[in-house]
Structure 1
C-alpha cells in the first residue's frame, strides 16, 4: 500500500518533470502586465499544490486547505474569463471585412 508521504513525493517528482520552462518574456510598457498576471496565477497554483501535498501528509490543517482551494478556484475562474474575452475578441477580428 502506498503511504501519503510516498504519494506526495511521487506527485512532486511528476510535477517537476512536466513543469514548463521559464521563458524570459518582456511585458509591453504601455499595456497590462500579462507576465506579472501569469506569474501571480502560477504562484497561486503552486501554493495550492504545496498546501494539497501538505494536507495529504498531515502537515497542513483542513481550514488552510479549504482557503487555498477557494483562492485557486477564484484565480482559475478569472483566467477562464480572460481567456473567453480574448477568444471572443479574436473571433470578432476574424469577422471583420478585409
Structure 2
C-alpha cells in the first residue's frame, strides 16, 4: 500500500510540477514565456516525458526480474510509480477538458 509520502514524492517527481510551481503568477505575459518561465505546453510535454520514462523504468524492472537480476519489490515500486504518474496525467487531462468545456459554455 502506498503511503501519503510516497504519493507526494511521485507527484512531485513528475517534471517538478508541484502545486507551488503551478500556483505562481507569471512575471509578464500569458504563461510567463516572456519572463523566461515555462509555458503550459512545455510543462505538459515535461509531464508526458516523465510519465513515459516511468513506464520505461517499469518495463526494464519487469524484464530484469524475469531474467532473475532484480527483486520483485523493485518491480512493484516501479509499476506503482508508473501508475501514479499515469493517474496524475489523466487527472490533469480531465481538468484541462473541464476548463475548456467551461470556456465554451460562456456567453459571448
Fold-level similarity (TM above 0.5): yes
Q: What's the TM-score, normalizing by structure 1?
A: 0.62
Within-5 A mapping of 1:49-68? 49-68=59-78
Tell which deviates more after alignment, 74-83 or 55-64: 55-64
- Give the superposition deviation at 1:58: 2.0
Question: Please, what is the CA RMSD of the aligned residues?
Answer: 1.8
| Larger-gyration structure (1/2) | 1
The match for 1:97 is: 107
Paired with 2:70 and 2:51, the residues of 1 have a C-alpha distance of: 21
Deviation, 1:56, is: 2.2
In structure 2, the partner of 1:74 is 84
Counterpart in 1 of 2:5?
A: none
Structure 2 CA distance for aligned equivalents of residues 52 and 93 of structure 1: 43
Count of residue pairs brought into register by the alignment? 71
Runs (5+) with no aligned partner, structure 2: 1-31
User: Aligned residue for 2:96?
Assistant: 86
TM-score (norm 2): 0.57
